[in-house]
C-alpha cells in the first residue's frame, strides 16, 4: 500500500527514508468496498485520501436527483472535498468507491504537522496542489469552450485507464452531457473510422 505512495512522491521530490517513514506513520490505511462512502453530503471532510488501489468518484446530487460527477480518483491520485477539508464546513458532495479500494488517509492536523516539520512534504504537497489546479482549469476550459465530441475525445486521450473502468453514464456526467449524447458521439466516431 505504501509503495504506491512512495513511487508517487518520488516522481515529484526526493524524500529521505526517515521523512517518508514520518509521513506514513501519520497515515491510516482504509479499505472501501464497492459503493461504500468515504464522505457523504452534509458531513465534514476529515480526510485527504491517497488512492493506492481502486477507483473513487466525487459527486453531488442536484434537487432533481441527478448526479454531477466532479472528479474520479484512481491509483496514485488524491481524493478530498478540499473546501470542506480546509474550511471545516459540511461537504456539499459525496465520495464513494466505484471498485473495492485501498486508501491512505491523513487528517488536517497531520497535514499541518508535516508541512511544518518535513519541508520535502510541503514541496511535494504544493506540487500536487499545482497539478490539481492545472487539471481543474483545463476541465473548466473544456466545459466552456470545447464541443461535446471534443470533451469526450480529450477524456479518452487523457484518461485511458479511467475510460476502461468507469461506466459510460458516469463518464457522461463528468463530461456534462447526457448518456444519450455520449452514445450518439461514440456511434458517430465509430462510423467515421
Q: What is the pLDDT of residues 51-109, one digit of tens each?
A: 999 999 999 999 999 999 999 999 999 999 999 999 999 999 999 999 999 999 999 99
Q: What is the pLDDT of residues 161-173, one digit of tens each?
A: 888 899 999 999 9
pLDDT the model gives residue 193: 78
The residue extents of the domains of the chain are: 2-118
pLDDT the model gives residue 25: 96
Q: How big is the chain, counted in residues?
A: 193
pLDDT the model gives residue 163: 83
pLDDT the model gives residue 28: 97
80 phi/psi in degrees, rounded to 5: -170, 150
Q: What is the pLDDT of residues 10-65, one digit of tens each?
A: 999 999 999 999 999 999 999 999 999 999 999 999 999 999 999 999 999 999 99
- CA 169 to the chain's CA centroid: 18
Integer Cα distance of 53 and 33 in angstroms: 11
Q: Are 81 and 93 in contact (CB under 8 A)?
A: yes
pLDDT the model gives residue 51: 97
pTM value surpassing 0.95:
no
Integer Cα distance of 34 and 18 in angstroms: 34
Integer Cα distance of 2 and 20 in angstroms: 10
For residues 144-155, give the mean pLDDT. Answer: 95
pLDDT the model gives residue 11: 92
Cβ of 11: how many Cβ atoms within 10 Å?
Answer: 10
More confident residue, 164 or 137: 137
Specify whether domain 2-118 bears CATH 3.30.950.10.
no
Cα–Cα nearest to 151, from 169, 172, 137, 129: 172
- With 90 as the cut, is the pLDDT of residue 1 above it? no
Amino acid at each position: 500500500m505504501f509503495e504506491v505512495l512512495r513511487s508517487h512522491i518520488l516522481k515529484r521530490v526526493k524524500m529521505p527514508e526517515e521523512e517518508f517513514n514520518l509521513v506514513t506513520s501519520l497515515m491510516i490505511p482504509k479499505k472501501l468496498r464497492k459503493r461504500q462512502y468515504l464522505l457523504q453530503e452534509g458531513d465534514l471532510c476529515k480526510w485527504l485520501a491517497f488512492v493506492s488501489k481502486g477507483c473513487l468518484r466525487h459527486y453531488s446530487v442536484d434537487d432533481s436527483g441527478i448526479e454531477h460527477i466532479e472528479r474520479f480518483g484512481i491509483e496514485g491520485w488524491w481524493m478530498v472535498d478540499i473546501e470542506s477539508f480546509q474550511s471545516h464546513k459540511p461537504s456539499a458532495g459525496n465520495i464513494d468507491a466505484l471498485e473495492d479500494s485501498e486508501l491512505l488517509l491523513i487528517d488536517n492536523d497531520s497535514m499541518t504537522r508535516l508541512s511544518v516539520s518535513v519541508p520535502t512534504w510541503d514541496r511535494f504537497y504544493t506540487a500536487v496542489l499545482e497539478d490539481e489546479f492545472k487539471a481543474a482549469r483545463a476541465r473548466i476550459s473544456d466545459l466552456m469552450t470545447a464541443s461535446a465530441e471534443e470533451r469526450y475525445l480529450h477524456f479518452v486521450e487523457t484518461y485511458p485507464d479511467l475510460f476502461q473502468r468507469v461506466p459510460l453514464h458516469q463518464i457522461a456526467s463528468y463530461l456534462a452531457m447526457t448518456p444519450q449524447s455520449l452514445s450518439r458521439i461514440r456511434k458517430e466516431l465509430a462510423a467515421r473510422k
